[in-house]
Structure 1
Amino acid sequence: MNGHFLSREINNEPAKFRRLLNKLNKEVDFINIEKAVELISSGKATEVKKTLLAFTFDDGFDDCYYSLAPVLEEYGINACFFINPNFVAGSKEYIKNFVINTVSTPNKRPMDWEQITNLKDRGFVIGSHTKDHVRLSELDDHDIKCQVEDSKYIIEKKLGIKCEYFAWPYGQFKDITEKALIIVEEHHKYVFSGCDYKNYFSYEGKVFNRRHFEACWSFNELKYFLSFTRKY
Structure 2
Amino acid sequence: MARLKLAALQLGFQVGLFRLVRHAVRRRQAVILTFHRFSGNGEGHARGMPIQRFAESMEYLAQHYRVVSLRTIADELSRGEVRPCTVAVTVDDGYHEVFTLAAPVLQRYGVPASIFVISDFIDGRLWPWTDRFAFVFDRAPRERLTFSHGGSRHVLALDRDERRRQAPERWLEYAKTLSIEEREQLLEVLADAAGVSIPIAPPREYRPMTWAQLRALAAEGFDVGAHTRTHPILSRVTREQLRVEIEGCKEQMEQRLGCAVRHFAYPNGRREDYTADAVAAVARAGYAAAVTTVFGGNAPGISLFELRRVAAPPESLAAFARSVSGFDEIRMQVRRRSDRIPARIGFAGAGVVGRQGP
- TM-score band (shorter)? 0.7 to 0.9
Q: 1:202 offset after TM fit, Å?
A: 8.3
Q: Does residue 113 of structure 2 align to residue 76 of structure 1?
A: no
| 1:104-115 alignment, distance < 5 Å | 107-115=205-213
Task: After TM superposition, list the pairs within 5 Å mapping 1:44-63 onto structure 2.
Answer: 44-45=81-82, 48-49=83-84, 51-63=85-97
SS of the residue corresponding to residue 309 of structure 2 reads coil
The answer as to whether partners of 1:201 and 1:208 remain within 8 angstroms in 2 is no
Q: Tell me, yes or no, if the aligned pair for 2:122 and 2:209 is still in contact at 8 Å.
A: yes
Report how far residue 198 of structure 1 moved: 3.6
Residue aligning to 2:294: 195
Counterpart for residue 215 of structure 2: 117
- 8 Å contact 1:24–1:219 — kept in the other structure? no
Partner of 2:124: 90
SS in 2 for 1:55: strand
User: Cα distance, 1:65 vs. partner?
Assistant: 0.5
C-alpha distance in 1 between matches for 2:251 and 2:93: 17
Cα shift at 1:139: 0.4
- The question of 1:2 aligning with 2:34 is answered yes
Match of 2:127, SS?
helix
Contact persistence 2:119–2:253 (CA under 8 A): yes
Q: State the identity as a percent.
A: 24
Please give the secondary structure, in 2, of the residue aligned with 1:194: strand
Tell me by how many angstroms 1:225 deviates. Answer: 2.0
Unaligned runs of 5+ in 1: none
TM-score, structure 1 as length reference: 0.85
Match 1:30 to one of 67, 77, 86? 67
Q: How far is the alpha carbon of 1:58 from its aligned partner?
A: 0.6
1:208 to 304, 307, 311: 307
Q: Tell me, in whole angstroms, the C-alpha distance in 2 between the residues paired with 1:204 and 1:97.
A: 30
Structure (1/2) with the larger strand percentage? 2
Q: CA deviation at 1:204?
A: 4.5
Per-residue CA deviation, residues 113-165 of structure 1 (Å, 9 max, x unaligned), is: 11111101110011110000111100010111111111111100011111110
Displacement over 6 Å in runs of 4+:
10-13, 102-106
| 1:41, distance to aligned residue in structure 2 (A) | 2.4
For the pair shown, which has the larger CA radius of gyration, 1 or 2?
2
Amino acid of the residue matched to residue 23 of structure 1? Y
Distance 1:63 1:183 in 2: 31
Aligned: 1:144 with 2:242: yes
Structure 2-normalised TM-score? Answer: 0.57
Contact 1:202 1:209 in 2 (8 A): no
Q: CA RMSD in A?
A: 2.8
Pairs within 5 Å for 1:159-198:
159-187=257-285, 188-198=287-297
Could you say what secondary structure the match of 1:169 adopts? coil
| Equivalent position SS for 1:209 | strand
Deviations 1:173-230 (A, max 9, x none): 100010121111111111111113144478755421111125x442122222223289
Question: What is the distance in 1 between the residues matched to 2:268 and 2:89?
Answer: 17
Q: Which residue of 2 aligns with 1:41?
A: 78
Judged with a 3 Å threshold, the aligned counterparts in structure 2 of structure 1 residues 12 and 53 are, in CA distance, closer, same or farther, namely closer
* Aligned counterparts of 1:147 and 1:226: Cα–Cα separation in 2: 31
Counterparts of 2:301 and 2:310, CA distance in 1: 13
The answer to whether 1:225 aligns with 2:323 is: yes
Contact map agreement 1:195 1:212 (CA 8 A) in 2? no
